[in-house]
Amino acid sequence: MTGIPLTLLLLCTAGLQALSITYTPKEICVLKGSKVRLQCTYTLPAGYRFKAGHWYKSDSLIPSRDSNGNIQHNTASPQCLLWIHNLTPSDSGSYEYKVKIQHTTITGPGRAAVRVVATAQKGCWGVSYSSTSFCALRGSTLDIPCTYGYPRDHTVIKTFWHKEGEKGKDRIDLRLDARYRGRVEHLGTENNCTLRIRDVRQTDSGQYTFRYATDKPGGAFSGVPVTIAVTGLQVSMTADTVTEGGSVTLSCNTNCNLRGNTTFIWFKNTQPTRHTAINNTLHLNPVSSEDTGNYSCALNRHKEHPSPGATLDVRYAPRKTTALVAPPGEIVGNNSMTLICSSDANPPVHNYTWYMKRGTQISPLGAGQSFIAANINNDTSGLYYCVARNSVGEQNSTGVSVLIVGQSSAKNAAIGVLVVVVAVLLILVLLWLRKRKSRPPSKKGSTSTPQQADSDLVYDDVSAVAVTSDPAWRRNTEADDDVQYSIIQFKGSKEAEVAPYASIQSPRAQTAQEDVQSPYASVQSPRAQTAQEDVQYAAVNFSRPKDTSQVEADQVIYSIVNKPPKTRMR
């Protein structure tokens, strides 16, 4: 015989009484992953003292604590209490408590039955989570899947989540907690107790428990605590300063292991980087100066929550080194000029050096980004260049040619320009005068314009006044109304042999209303005269008085005395 009947037989044979013991609960159905609390009360036989107590499962001794911490009970305490956490189906079975007295171990009738089920169902107590540990990204939304069960004859009247670890305070429903108000939500329906926390904050780290109560006495149950760790993203680098051409690896790190889709994306200066990431790392090889910038990372499903930035500094030797001379172009001797050197480098150029090259000879001039050369002369004409240096390397600029000219040469050049301007003005004046002289003379001889006064034509008028009032003379003059034309020959230059001519017209009879007018004899040259030739024109006027009384006052005869022609210069 084995088991309880044998124990009772031995106790009776020894004169000992059986242990009086009661288990609570006697039978329980619990969800996988939940915890169960088994408790008993007992009475020792008279005259015996408690020495130790042990829990057994199916007659197998249960250790006071296993390696995972899922079983807890105190063998040295007369209190009969057993905790089993994170239940699995293998925890199903019957449990009993035995007391050691003197040199004998006694037990009583009855045992506690435990059944562990994989899914929530009515008739079974317990809370089950998909996991008891969660890692949440700061600023993201976290869901904690949860199911629970209870006996069939019970009705649930209250469910809530609360945060553990605040001793001395009542369990507060997260929905009523000011720290979580508006950020938490129960997604559960019947047997579903999933919790959602939005905009996860660093202060949300901690342990959370789901608890529910039924309408029966003792009908309250709590699941095992769930741990939430809140993390941010942090960028780390194998080196934050690297020389161009080297390599560097960037990593996107968290304080805990994120679950689900953990595809990372990378940004440089808030823009997606041109490099491809592998898992949570970004490898740059070789590094170029374009890789300098501020890098951050984010989860692909949470792009709106990037990590703080980390700066990568790529150093490189001087480049695009350029030399300039001010003022540009030719520089007048005995003056000064300024040489300016510019370059792109990281770190910045710490040394600029100037050189002059003439032929194959190179002469150092001085140092500094700008260099002033004073009292320059022809010996300083040549090719100038600068050398830029930093801690990474150096680079020569392209040469700039400088031509030094003397002060007298510059003055002669200015005078030459002035002479050209004056010559152009003189040519314009001569052309204007030539055009003016080529105009034909005025047909009216009685009027002398200022232009005629300025010409080479010389007029000498000699007037013949009537010296008699004899009517016979008057008749003779009237009889001579017929005027004859004659050709008057003027000799000009030897080159002009064509004889000019003169036209002589007789005056017409004057009317009473007309004033005395003098007819003219006009002499014209057959061609325009050159500037060196002087052509004289003669005008001969004939006039007769209207009556005797007017003879004394009127000018009747005009004669022109010509000025001899000038000799043409050859």
Band (41; pLDDT cuts 50, 70, 90): confident
- % the chain with pLDDT above 70: 69
Q: Which residue has the higher pLDDT, 501 or 350?
A: 350
Our CA angle for 120, 123, 129, nearest 5°, is 25
Q: Are residues 170 and 224 in the same domain?
A: yes
Whether 222 is covered by a domain: the verdict is yes
Other beta carbons less than 10 A from residue 174's beta carbon: 19
Last residue of a domain, one of 203, 231, 259: 231
Strand partners, 242: 314
Decide which of 146 and 525 is more confident. Answer: 146
- Residue 548 pLDDT: 42
Of the listed ranges 28-37, 192-201, 410-419, 494-503, the least confidently predicted one is 494-503
Residue 330 within a domain: yes
Check if the beta carbon of residue 384 is closer than 8 Å to that of residue 325. yes
Are both 113 and 133 inside the same structural domain?
A: no
pLDDT of residue 69: 63
Same domain? For 328 and 299 the reply is no
**Residue with token string 């020495």:** 51
Domain of 215, CATH number, reads: 2.60.40.10
* Cα–Cα distance for residue pair 526/499, rounded to 1 Å: 8
119, 140, 155 - which closes a domain: 119
Q: Report DSSP state, residue 278.
A: B
Cα–Cα distance measured from residue 185 to residue 197, given in angstroms and rounded to the nearest whole number: 7
User: Within a domain: residue 434?
Assistant: no
Whether the CB-CB separation of 62 and 56 falls below 8 Å is answered with yes
One domain for residues 167 and 221: yes
CB 464 within 8 A of CB 544: no
Beta partners for residue 60, in sequence order:
57
Answer whether residue 300 is part of any domain. Answer: yes
| Domain shared by 244 and 303, yes or no | yes
Q: Mean of the pLDDT values across residues 8-36?
A: 68
Strand partners for 115? 29
Q: Are residues 295 and 334 in the same domain?
A: no
More confident residue, 513 or 368: 368
For residue 192, the enclosing domain spans: 126-231
Q: Would you state the pLDDT for residue 431?
A: 85
Q: What's the distance, Cα to Cα, between the start and end of the chain in Å?
A: 171
Evaluate whether residue 149 is within a structural domain. Answer: yes
Asked if 490 and 499 count as a contact pair (C-beta separation under 8 A), the reply is yes
The answer to the question of residue 512 being in a domain is no
For residue 549, the surrounding DSSP H or E stretch is helix 548-551
Residues 324 and 358 in one domain: yes
3-class secondary-structure state, position 100: strand
154 inside domain: yes
Q: How many whole angstroms separate alpha carbon 437 and alpha carbon 530?
A: 9
Query: Is beta strand 331-332 parallel, antiparallel or unpaired with respect to 404-405?
Result: parallel
Q: Average of pLDDT values for 37-55?
A: 82
Cβ atoms of 341 and 383 closer than 8 Å: no
Half-sphere exposure of 351 (CA within 13 A, CB side): 10
* 263 vs 401: CA distance, rounded Å: 59
pTM given for the model? 0.53
Indicate whether 271 and 349 sit together in one domain: no
Same domain, residue pair 282 and 260: yes
**475-514 b/e (C-beta count within 10 Å ≥ 16 → b):** eeeeeeeeeeeeebebebbeebeeebbbebeebeeeeeee
Q: Are residues 297 and 370 in the same domain?
A: no
pLDDT of 266 strictly over 80: yes
* Beta-carbon-side half-sphere exposure of residue 223 (alpha carbons within 13 Å): 37
Q: At 420, which helix (H) or strand (E)? A: helix 407-437
Query: How many residues are recorded in the chain?
Result: 570
Residues 329 and 394 in one domain: yes
Q: What is the pLDDT of residues 133-159, one digit of tens each?
A: 999 999 999 999 988 888 878 888 889
Residues 249 and 260 in one domain: yes
Q: How far apart are CA 115 and CA 558, in angstroms?
A: 164
Q: Confirm whether 525 is domain-assigned.
A: no
Domain end residue (candidates: 370, 405, 440): 405
Q: Which candidate, 446, 445, 463, places its Cα nearest to that of 558?
A: 463
Our count of domains for the chain comes to 4
Strands (DSSP E) contained in 274-380 are 281-284, 293-299, 310-326, 331-332, 337-346, 351-358, 361-367, 370-373
